[in-house]
Chain A
């Protein structure tokens, strides 16, 4: 498997490094700026009433007329830029094999190596986990560094941050599992990426619509991954979201195993 990991390292090290640095920069900027921006949010609520439901959808709780310092830190973890960076990485990464390999015609070379498809899938999974950890760690480092410039009262405790990050990690696993599954069925990387991004966007929109529509609210727990990621609630209550994390991890496991089984059993046709 080390040969396969070497191949993954060669292929993904630079994109992962750039994304990690990007995440670090975004997190540090948001950590420093969000308390200032959200401190005057009530004015924005008056001028642009649509902002409040959007914020409620993202945070999972009604921020009221004023956004507390801690809630502003929660907004950091659901900020679309942060989620986009993380999801972009894993959608790109998880669509590499087999969809990307078939698409660029290198599947013949890879799959004719004397390794099982499970080994290939496992090595891709290791790369995915390590790269995700790397990006999240860089993000956390950016957040931590910028926190030094924020008043101590506005800082999140380490335990709260870790709980939010664990929840975000579970989201990462669920989205990655889904991406792997779509990729396992697909011969075209672009199509696989399109399907996953569309699904994520729909999930995001559903979470937003759930604030206004009963139907969307009813189906949101089944179809929206954001339903299981509520940093604001974690920060407010200070308790670990066991049920959300278990749901996400179960979903991730089922999707990942299904992806592996599909990849192992499908015929690869590049001609």
Chain B
């Protein structure tokens, strides 16, 4: 059953672009990753879903109900954390839970305090005395305390330390295991990659990719780092057509790989070998490449996993070029 459905959803801010023809279908029990660079339209989509913004055109539905006109009913079963969390200075986790208990008509104190303990949050500390990370934790506790069927989180890990990020991820996985749906917006690929099983990438307000993680990984290239023997010349090697050569050492780039390639391979190869290193991208199975590489007498070959990072960068860089 689809929990979130948007059809040709559009929303602009006067003459400024917001989102254009956004079509999303998120099924129950999915952890949905909503990826995109800053300003791509992730928050706008979420704000339409939460009934903060009206849709300019198209429709947005949660649980089959219209996000704008049925907002209060929908929000009874939705937990939401905004991208830029701002809370009342007087609010404490416990006060917030009491307030929410009255609004929901059931006692959320026990569930909320359990969450607060899990996130190592002082329940009686007011927001005005909290760090950004702790404010984020309060927002998370208040969003999750009523055990909603759908959780919408807009860049929720910003401000959280790595341990708390892990706690949040574990919490979300547990919720998904119970059949609850999670929509997780982020511009950090790694956290989406480790958490989500369905990913959409938004760029310039449009959905440019909407697929499962496994399907995306099948599309994603693998990065291959080939270290040549001292007497081998990269230019003279006849590289097969199923790989694209991203970098090879020759006279025109005697300083070694570009900064970006250096960054991506730095963890894998030692600096002394970089001038004998070629960086390739492979689409599809690595078996074919391994068979070819076995005939080439290379000093070493490192084949990385399918890299969503490369795929994402491709979308991202296209955005940057059009700006």
Contact = CB atoms under 8 A, between A and B. Distances in A.
Contacts of B80: 108, 112
Interface in A55-86: none
B7 interface: no
B220 to A, nearest CB: 30
Contact of A271 (B47, B76, B87): B47
Contact of B52 (A4, A7, A105, A267): A267
Contacts of B95: 10
A114 B104 contact: yes
A10 to B, nearest CB: 6
Contact of B103 (A3, A111, A267, A268): A3
A250 interface: no
Contacts of B101: 3
Contacts, number: 77
Interface string B70-109: 0111011010101110111010000100111111100000
B51 interface: yes
A3 B100 contact: yes
Contact of B86 (A2, A11, A104): A104
B75 A108 contact: no
B43 interface: yes
B86 A109 contact: yes
Interface residues of B, number: 32
B135 to A, nearest CB: 11
Contact of A112 (B50, B90, B99): B50
Interface in A104-146: 104-109, 111-116, 119
Interface in A21-52: none
A149 interface: no
Contacts of A115: 72, 75, 103
A109 B87 contact: yes
A269 B75 contact: no
B159 interface: no
Interface in B24-79: 43-44, 47, 50-54, 71-73, 75-76, 78
Interface of A: 2-4, 6-7, 10-11, 104-109, 111-116, 119, 265, 267-271
8 contacts: A7-B99, A106-B87, A108-B50, A109-B86, A111-B50, A112-B51, A268-B52, A269-B53
